[in-house]
Amino acid sequence: MPDGPTRAREALAGAGYAAGWAVVGKLPPAVVARVFDAGADLATRRGGPGVQRLRANLARVRPDAAPAELDDLVRRGMRSYARYWREAFALPSLEPGALHRAMHPHVHGIDASLEALRAGRGVLYALPHAGNWDVAGVYMVGELARLGLEPAITTVVQRLRPESLFRRFLDYRRSLGFEVVPADDPRSAHRALTARLRAGGVVCLIADRDLSGTGVDVRFLGAPARLPAGPARLARLTGAALHPAYPVFAGAAWGVHVGPEIPVDGAAAVSGPGSAVVKATQALADAFGELIAHRPEDWHMLQPIPGGPG
C-alpha cells in the first residue's frame, strides 16, 4: 500500500489531470498552446531526468548531431510531448470527423493494411510513443467505419495511480471508440487482443519499450535494447498482418507513417535466437529506427530504453 507522501502525490496528480480535462477544452487553443509551449521550454531549460533521458535517446537517432543541433531537437521534442498532453485534455470535445479530415492528407503507407482488413484479415499496428497516438486511433476508427467494418480498435493500457486517474484514462480512451484492456490482467488482455485480430479487426500496441522483463533483445538505433515480443507473438498466433506505424504532428494537423508488413513465419520455431518472433521483433526495431529518424522530435521517449546502455 502506498505511504502517506505517495498517496498525497498521487492525489495531487489525479487532481491536476482532472483539472486539465475540465479546463483545457474550454480555453482558446492559441492560449493553451502558448502555455504548454512555455512549460515545455521551462522543463527543457531545467534539464531534469526526463529531459536528460530524452536527449540521450535522441542522440541515438542523431549520433552525428552537434551539441547545438541536439539542444534544438530536445527543445522541439519537449514541445511535441507537451502538445500531446494539451491535445489529450481537449480531444474528447473535438469532432471525430473533423480530426479524420485534417489527418487524412498526412497518412502514408496505409493502403496495404487496409487491403488486409477488406480481405477479412486482422491488422496489428505496433507504434512507438510518438506524435498523438490517440488521434491516430480516432483516424483508424473512422477508416473502419468507411470500410463498413466495426468502428473499434483494441489496445492495452498500463495501470496508473491513483485509481481515479486510471479510470479517467480508461473512460477517455473508450470515449474515442477504443476497446481498452488493462495490462495488469494479462489473460483478459490476451483474450481481447486475439479475439479482435481473429475477427479481422485492428489492434494497436505501443511497442518501443518492454516493461515485462520478458521481451526480445534486439539492436535498436545502433545499440542494444529490449522490445516487447507481444506484437510478433500475436501476429504469429492469429495470422494478423503486423505493421509498424509512426504517428507524427503535421503542422496544426496530424499524420501517420505506416511501414510495410513485417512477415512472421508461422512455420518457424516459436522461441530461440532464430525464431519467428525474434526475427520479427528485430525487423520491427529496424522499422522503428527508420520511422523515428524521419521525424525524431515527435518520439516521446523520456524514459530509459530497457536493455540498452545507461
pLDDT, tens digit (0-9, with 9 covering 90-100), for 53-108: 999 999 999 999 999 999 999 999 999 999 998 988 887 778 889 999 999 999 99
Within a domain: 193: yes
**Residue 10 confidence (pLDDT) above 50:** no
Bridge partner residues of 227 (DSSP) = 216
Bridge partner residues of 220 (DSSP) = 223
- Residue-level pLDDT at 147: 93
pTM attached to this predicted model: 0.91
Within a domain: 175: yes
- Residue-level pLDDT at 93: 78
Tell how far CA 39 is from the center of its chain: 22
Within a domain: 54: yes
pLDDT, tens digit (0-9, with 9 covering 90-100), for 140-186: 999 999 999 999 899 997 765 566 666 776 777 788 888 988 888 88
CA triplet 109, 232, 259: central angle to 5 degrees? 10
**Residue 14 confidence (pLDDT) above 80:** no
Within a domain: 303: no
The residues, ordered by sequence, that sit 6+ positions from 243 with a Cβ below 8 Å of its Cβ are: 112, 113, 123, 124, 125, 126, 258, 259, 260, 261, 262
**Residue 109 confidence (pLDDT) above 80:** yes
**Cell numbers found for residue 28:** 482558446
Counting the structural domains of the chain, the total is: 1
pLDDT, tens digit (0-9, with 9 covering 90-100), for 120-142: 999 999 999 999 998 999 999 99
Within a domain: 66: yes
- Residue-level pLDDT at 265: 78
CATH number at residue 29: 3.40.1130
Tell how far CA 96 is from the center of its chain: 19
**CA dist list (Å): 214 to 160, 189, 210, 228, 309:** 21, 16, 8, 7, 18
Within a domain: 100: yes
Q: Taking the chain, what is the end-to-end CA distance rounded to the nearest angstrom?
A: 30
Mean pLDDT, the chain, rounded, equals 88
Q: How far apart are CA 12 and CA 162, in angstroms?
A: 9
How much is the average pLDDT of 214-229?
95
- Residue-level pLDDT at 111: 98
- Binning the chain into helix, strand and coil, the percentages to the nearest 5 are 55, 15, 30
Within a domain: 203: yes
**Residue 11 confidence (pLDDT) above 60:** no
Within a domain: 310: no
Domain hosting 206: range is 4-298
**Residue 8 confidence (pLDDT) above 50:** no
130 φ, ψ to 5°?
-155, 150
